[in-house]
Structure formats: C-alpha cells, structure tokens
Structure 1
Amino acid sequence: MRSFSKLFLPQIEGQPTFPAGGTLMFPTIISPRGPSHPEPIFHSCAAEQSSVFSRPADILESAEMAEDDPQIYLEASELWEQFHKCGTEMVITKSGRRMFPPLKARCAGMDRKAKYVLLMDIVAADDCRYKFQSSRWLVAGKADPEMPKRMYIHPDSPATGEQWMSKVVNFNKLKLTNNISDKHGFTILNSMHKYQPRFHVVMANDILKLPYSTFRTYVFAETQFIAVTAYQNEKITQLKIDNNPFAKGFRDTGNGRREKRQVIPQFKAL
C-alpha cells in the first residue's frame, strides 16, 4: 500500500481543446509523493471525474498499484535530487524556455502490443506565492490566479508499449512561458510560484479518445520547482552551469545570478 494525497485542480469548462504545439487541455488529478517513497505515487482516474478547486494536499488516502499497471521511472533522479535540495528554479520567458534538468522517464510493465499515449502537465504545488530572502524561499502571500493547465502530448503518441519501453522518453520540447496570450501551446506559469510536473499514461490508440480514458498519473516530488524570470539562488545557478552543456554563456560571463541582473541570450537552453 502507498499513501498519497490528492490535490484537486481548477476545472476547465467545456470539451478538451487542442491548441498548437501538441497540448491538450482538460482537468486531471495530482497525486504528490511523500519523501519516504522511492517510487512515484500512482493514481488512476477518468478525465471527466476530476474535481474543482486548487488547494494544499490534505486528504490522505491509500492506493495500490495493480500488477498490470505500467511503471514510470524518473531518469537522472540523482541530478533532480541535487537541485531539489537547493530549491529548484526554472526560468520562464515570454518566448518560452525549456527546462533543465529536462524531464525524462523510462517505462516498464506495459502491454507490448497495446498502444499508449504519454502526456505531461505542470500544476500548482500549493496556493502560495514565494519570495527569495535571506538565501531561502519564503511564503509571501496567496497565489495569483492560474491559467487553465495544458496537457503536453509526447509527439511519439500513440505508440506501442514495446516502443515506449525500448527508449528513454524525453519531454525536452516542453517549454515554460509567462505569456498569458501564448498561442504556441507552451505551459503558462506565474513567476514566484511553486509547481509540480506530472507524467500521465493512457492506454489509447487515438488521441481523440483521451477525454474518455482512464489516466494513470505518476508524480516525483523531487521535480517540484519555483518559476522565476531570473535565477535567485546562486547554488541553483551553479548547478545549472556545472551540469548543463548549453550553459556556456554563464560560464564565460558569470551573469544571471540574481533577479535584477540581465539574463544573457546564450543561456536560452536552461
């Protein structure tokens, strides 16, 4: 048995929509992982059965993964843990910014011949706004209203279980933005708010069947992050420099360490 908490998200009215960029919009459910769990927390629910308001996770229940359920394992989990211990930050920009570390996973336990759709979304981890003060993140008030959350559909979907299990599943094309008018299908976030990425697996041979399918949701607590317009914590900046091969601009100039400093163009891959 595994303990998990349910965090209900704002309901999105009407039928799912397919904006540009391979994203799907409809409500789902989050199952955050406790710190003692070596594996992701798992939960299944029909897309149309999700509930309505965003609030802190405070309802504890138990769930058991069935023998035939797929398993998802976070790739580069040790690197994610390093960032998590310092308080991971992800830069958001109007034009869209990719995440580092990138979100990657390995799949197991799938029916080799059945087809699956893999998705990701990023949802509010709590109902707080934050500020970086005295070298740490502190709650600074209530969260700002969130835009309806978009599901990012992996471009290889749908694919057979055999295909998914044969490779690392990379969601590196997912981009973060603070542009509420975004038309590219990027994930819209608020600066200085905490977020939780989620992996979803759906057995379906057609993307159009997603609204009527059962979602299996996998959440890794170490992938939580705070969205920023420029890095606040110098430890996070250094970790990005040390581990991201595209951070050459930061290594050459030493810029980008605080909110007031300009983020240089060469550092776009972080």
Structure 2
Amino acid sequence: MSTGSHARPPAGHEAPRPSRRARAQQVLALARRRVRTRRRTTGGAWRVGTPVVVLLSGSLFAVSAVNSEGTDLRAGRYTDLASLVQAEADSYEELRARVAELTTQVTDLSAQVGSRDVKRVQQRIEELRDPAGLTPREGEGLRITLSDSPLEADDTDQPTKWLIVHQQDIQAVVNAMWRGGASAVTVQGQRIVSTTGIKCEANSVTLQGVPYPAPYVIEAVGDPTALAASVDADPYLQFYRSQAIQEDIQIGWDMVEDEVDAPAYDGLLDLSYAEPLEPTV
C-alpha cells in the first residue's frame, strides 16, 4: 500500500496540529474575505439606492408644488385676514347664542323658587333690566352715519388718518347722545351698555367681539331736538363736521331724525377684572 503524503495516518498515530501562528493566519485570512464580500455588497446597494432616493424626492417636490398651487400647505396658518375675521365672528355668534340659551334656563329655574328673598331679588333685577339695556326700546330718535372719505391717499395732501373713521369718532357720537338724554343707543344695530367696548382693529371696528366695516350707524332713542343739540355742542364733533365739508378731506357725516328700534342687549354679562399681586419681600 502506498504511503504518500496524502495517505491516512496509521491507527494510533495522531496528525500533527498546526501551530498557533498558523491558526492565527487562517483566522485573519477568513476575516479579510468577509470584509471584502461585505464591501462589494454595500457598494452595490449604494449604487442602486441613491438614484432611487433622488427620484422619490423629486417626485414628492413635484406633487407638493402641484397640490399647493403656489400657496402654503402648512396647517394652522391663516393667509386670508377676511377669513380669519369671519371665523372669529362666527365663533362669537355661536357663543352668544349659547349664553342666551343658558340665561333662559337660569331664568326658568329661578322662577320656580318660591323663597321670599329670591322674589325680592328678582323684583330688583326687573327694575334694573331697562336701565341696564336688557329690554328693547323703540321710539323717535336720531340716526348718525359715519363713513370713510371717498378720497384716496393720492387724491389729497391731508394725512390718511383724517380720511377714515376711528373708534374715538364713534365714541364721541355715543357720548353726546347719552348727554342728550338718550334712553337707548345702538351701534351697527347692537345695544350699547355700560360695559361695551369699541375697539379699532385694522380697517374695521370691533364691537362686543364682532368686527364691523364702515359705514358706522349710531342710533339713539330719545327727544330728537335734545339729542341734536347735544351733538351740535360737542367740540370734538364740531371739528369732525368741519372736516366733513372740506374738499380735501370729505369724511362722511349724516344726521337725520327717525324712528329707532333698539333691541335688548344679548351679550355676555360677566365682568372680567384683574387682581393685584401680593408684594414680595
């Protein structure tokens, strides 16, 4: 039998084990082959994946541009001021209707209470409802309409602030009507009470949370002669009316006697106020 180098060693004779250095070289060679294999795999994935990612990104940009039509797609951002004002006005109307409904419920429940003290308080409330503006009023009176000037800023050398109606103009008319003995005053059809605030916001006036554009109609129930005399005697309104007849200003002013219908105030009755902080030592 041949005893070449590749023959199985005889029984009982153990083949010599490779040296420690040889084993280390074998492990190192195996690790290098694995690294080369992984690099080839990863490099191929990047060569294929990168064009795909770029293509998908371009597609997303194109879809966004088409859908937006040049506008902002981000939610929660108002680009239309008129829409924002209308949304706030609608929200206010919903809240006011809810307040009216709850007030009716409270009134019905209170009427069912038979306590003497409750009846005394209810009687006092009824006496104060009319002075507080919570009951409708109608009768002869005065109507004043304030409107912005028809002139544009380029049509005159006068300041732009003199061409538009401001909140102080409306307040001056309302105060003059109260001094003239008005029993009820409305602005844009809304009843004016002691807690009513008139605020100027941009090109509109906000009254009890609702924005209104010009022209502004102020009406008062009362003696027309006494109301007109009070308006004529007001120094602020005298200056306003002098601007109304100036050719280079022409701010709007119209005053007529008429029958006035003043609805009851139906807004919020709760008062909000601030409290001072306790001093810190």
Relative to the length of structure 2, the TM-score reads: 0.19
Structure with greater strand percent: 1
Considering only CA atoms, is the larger Rg found in Structure 1 or Structure 2? 2
Of Structure 1 and Structure 2, which has the larger fraction of its residues in helix? 2
Taking structure 1 as the reference length, the TM-score comes to: 0.19
